[in-house]
Amino acid sequence: MRKSWNAGRSGGSDRPVATTAIVAALVASFLIAFLISSSRPLLMAELLAFDPKLDKPWTLLTYPFYRDFASVLWFAFGCWIVYQFLSGIERSLREWGTAAFFFAVTFLGGLFYFLGTLIFGVSGILPSLNLPMYFVVFAWCLLHQQGQIMLFFCIPCPTRVLMWLCVAAVVIEYGWSNPPVGFVTVLPFALVWLYVTNRIPFMRFGAVPDLTSKKQEKKRDQGFDRFMGDVKRREQERAEKERLRKLFESSLDDEDKKDG
């Protein structure tokens, strides 16, 4: 892949803690669903998948963590995509900001999908990672608008094009049976665009404080202050020695003159 693929991962820590935790939770929930599938095949779907009936409102945040077993490869691919792109975003938002961003786009996607089904009188569930995945990729593309990736490892694709592919994918996937629902579901893309491009007042992208960096910076400043204090003290000692040396030499010259 081109250099732009890792543009968001330069600098800062090389350990995307929040991204790793999110992907690990996705895999863990999938494995748990698989292990209990023989005894309770619908339990994880009932607990995690979002149903527009809103009898389980927490599923607005948990629906990415459920996936049926008919698409294991796509689930694995989705986890890989989330890791690659969300870890790039984490370089800007840090750990807590990244987790908040992921669950915010998850919530907004589910909410607008619910509004679409409510307005146009259709039913359907959200049982997969796809929707927040598209938002994550879209946000990463906004951060690297001059970049290019190799789509499916073989097709050069500018990130500006990939952004619109994400929008089109949501319209098609979530509006397949009822196109207006798809057009409502894409509305959070506008909110992501406003946030990432810093067009929302008092919500600056990447403004999450990095307490660790501040502590390290303070420690470096204190160390530098101690170093400068030592330098100044040594300069004063050197100046004092030079003064005493000149005074001593001056006294010797006076004695020589007296003897002469």
Q: 156 pairs with which residues across the strands?
A: 150
CA atoms within 13 A on the CB side of 21: 12
Instruction: Phi first, then psi: give them for residue 173, nearest 5 degrees.
Output: -65, -45
pTM (two decimals): 0.71
Q: What is the pLDDT of residues 143-179, one digit of tens each?
A: 988 888 887 778 888 889 999 999 999 999 888 888 9
Instruction: Phi first, then psi: give them for residue 50, nearest 5 degrees.
Output: -85, 130
Instruction: Phi first, then psi: give them for residue 40, nearest 5 degrees.
Output: -130, 75
- Cα separation, 81 vs 160, in Å, equals 17
Asked if 63 contacts 48 with a C-beta cutoff of 8 angstroms, the reply is yes
Burial grade of 153 (CB within 10 A; 0-12, 13-18, 19 or more): exposed
Q: Name the more confident of 213 and 134.
A: 134
Structure tokens given for 23 = 């992907």
- Cα separation, 6 vs 174, in Å, equals 30
Q: What is the pLDDT of residues 215-252, one digit of tens each?
A: 666 677 777 778 788 888 888 888 888 887 777 777 76
How large is the average pLDDT for residues 78-89?
93
pLDDT computed for residue 22 by the predictor: 95
Q: What is the mean pLDDT of the chain?
A: 81
- Cα separation, 227 vs 239, in Å, equals 18
* 151, 73, 173, 87 alpha-carbon torsion, rounded to 10°: -60
Asked if 86 contacts 19 with a C-beta cutoff of 8 angstroms, the reply is yes
How large is the average pLDDT for residues 104-126?
87
pLDDT computed for residue 254 by the predictor: 62
Q: What percent of the chain has pLDDT over 90?
A: 32
CA atoms within 13 A on the CB side of 95: 12
pLDDT band of residue 69 (cuts 50, 70, 90) is: low
